[in-house]
């Protein structure tokens, strides 16, 4: 009989402990400073590069972990350190996933190394999909890519928003409309190389949380990119568009677009980030409840506090299991027949918001101050229910998948 286990193997435990040490010794001491500065923590990213965490090799090793647990385990530990700094370290990964999901082997080998740079000259990359009028509604996207056959170039025009590393990145991965008649099926992804004329940073956002992560608009004004920067290549794109037109005429099956392919691959990863933040807040609250005394006894001696902590830990563990299940399914090629990826992100992100709020309540007035990290964790946790598909969108995806109905 096959053995079933949820225990990490020795290699995974070693990596987990290594990441936890980096998060404890490097990320956490810097968290409050970079949150206040609202700037990209380049020194911390460079430290991560020096030890091998911020590198293509490290993420490749975790991505190809046959159990699927390498990436969620790594993300949980880094975000346990601090969400804003961790997002600055891993934000390039979303652009890399965009290339992995849609690019050719040559494009993967050419562009992903450039996204990271090297220890002496670290770089970041940006994935640009959302627009001012097209967030969850990807069908409303307006950024256009028009092919100039004479020069074998694509000309991009439009404005992207909420782009992590937008404008400061070397490599930008941009999703644009190539066939407006097909709506979301007429999208494609493009590499915009470093220093491409016509690409500029627009507004940099001052955010409620994850302040150490740079978020900005990316403006494209007649930005020309070589034909080989179309992810997947033009022949593959033309074939896909032709099939989409045929299916549209016949009222046939849906075709996934480039942006959604990237988001589906990353949703369990966002769930792992949320688990890390929730776990960090829970641990602060547990330590506080066992050391803080009121009326002559530790406050955890009161059921009102103890039961909250019991619920917090239970919800965190349940969220982690959902994330691990979805990650294992993705790694082993099992389809998300019940939208398990969306389930993991939905539950974990909602858990992070709830647990961080409860941590503030347990700490009372202290929890409301910046002398304790839980208020920052609560601000950071809010993003998990918003980016890469809001909680409402996750529920919609789950409901549609379960029912087979076009629920709106």
Report domain extents, the chain: 10-122, 125-250, 258-403
Strand 199-204 to 171-177 pairing: unpaired
Classified by CATH at the fold level, domain 125-250 comes out as Butyryl-CoA Dehydrogenase, subunit A; domain 2 (2.40.110)
Report the 10 Å Cβ neighbour count for 233. Answer: 15
The pLDDT score that the predictor gives to residue 5 is: 87
Contact by Cβ (8 Å): 53, 85? no
CATH architecture of 258-403: Up-down Bundle (1.20)
Which residue has 């770089």 as its token pair? Answer: 123
pLDDT for the residue 2: 60
Sequence-separated (6 or more) residues with CB below 8 Å from residue 84: 31, 34, 35, 209, 210, 211, 212, 213, 380
Low-confidence ranges of the chain (pLDDT < 50): 253, 255
pLDDT single digits (tens) 107-164:
999 999 999 999 999 999 999 999 998 766 666 899 999 999 999 999 999 999 999 9
Assigned CATH topology for domain 10-122: Butyryl-Coa Dehydrogenase, subunit A; domain 1 (1.10.540)
* Structure tokens given for 131: 């627009």
Q: Per-residue pLDDT tens for 85-111? A: 999 999 999 899 899 889 999 999 999
Q: What pLDDT sits at residue 76?
A: 98
Residue among 131, 217, 375, 388 flagged as catalytic: 388
Give Cα 303 distance to the centre of its chain. Answer: 37
| Catalytic status, residue 388 | yes
Q: Are 175 and 145 in contact (CB under 8 A)?
A: no
Quote the pLDDT of residue 251.
Answer: 65
């Amino acid at each position: 009989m096959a053995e079933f286990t949820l225990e990490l193997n020795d290699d995974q435990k070693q990596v987990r402990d290594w990441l936890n040490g980096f998060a404890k010794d490097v990320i956490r001491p810097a968290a409050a400073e970079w949150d206040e500065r609202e700037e990209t923590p380049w020194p911390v990213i460079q430290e991560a590069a020096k030890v091998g965490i911020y590198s293509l090799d490290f993420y490749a090793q975790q991505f190809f972990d046959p159990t699927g647990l390498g990436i969620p385990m790594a993300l949980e530990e880094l975000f346990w350190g601090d969400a804003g700094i961790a997002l600055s370290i891993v934000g390039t990964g979303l652009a890399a996933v965009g290339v992995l999901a849609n690019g050719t082997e040559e494009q993967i080998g050419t562009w992903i190394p450039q996204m990271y740079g090297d220890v002496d000259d670290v770089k970041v990359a940006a994935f640009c999909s959302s627009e001012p009028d097209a967030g969850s509604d990807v069908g409303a996207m307006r950024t256009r890519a028009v092919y100039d056959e004479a020069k074998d170039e694509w000309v991009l025009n439009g404005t992207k928003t909420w782009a992590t590393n937008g404008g400061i990145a070397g490599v930008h991965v941009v999703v644009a409309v190539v066939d407006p008649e097909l709506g979301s099926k007429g999208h494609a992804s493009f590499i915009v190389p470093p220093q491409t004329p016509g690409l500029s940073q627009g507004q940099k956002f001052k955010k409620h949380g994850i302040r150490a992560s740079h978020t900005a608009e990316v403006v494209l004004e007649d930005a020309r990119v070589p034909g080989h920067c179309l992810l997947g290549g033009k022949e593959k794109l033309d074939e896909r568009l032709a099939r989409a037109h045929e299916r549209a005429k016949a009222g046939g099956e849906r075709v996934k677009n480039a942006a959604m392919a990237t988001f589906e691959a990353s949703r369990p990863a966002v769930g792992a980030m949320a688990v890390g933040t929730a776990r960090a807040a829970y641990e602060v609250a547990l330590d506080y409840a066992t050391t803080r005394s009121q009326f002559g006894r530790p406050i955890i001696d009161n059921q009102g506090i103890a039961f909250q902590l019991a619920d917090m830990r239970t919800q965190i563990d349940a969220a982690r299991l959902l994330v691990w299940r979805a990650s294992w399914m993705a790694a082993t090629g099992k389809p998300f027949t019940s939208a398990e990826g969306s389930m993991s992100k939905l539950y974990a992100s909602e858990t992070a918001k709830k647990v961080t709020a409860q941590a503030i309540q347990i700490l009372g007035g202290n929890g409301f101050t910046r002398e304790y990290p839980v208020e920052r964790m609560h601000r950071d946790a809010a993003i998990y229910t918003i980016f890469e598909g809001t909680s409402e969108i996750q529920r919609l995806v789950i409901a549609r998948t379960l029912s087979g109905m076009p629920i709106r």
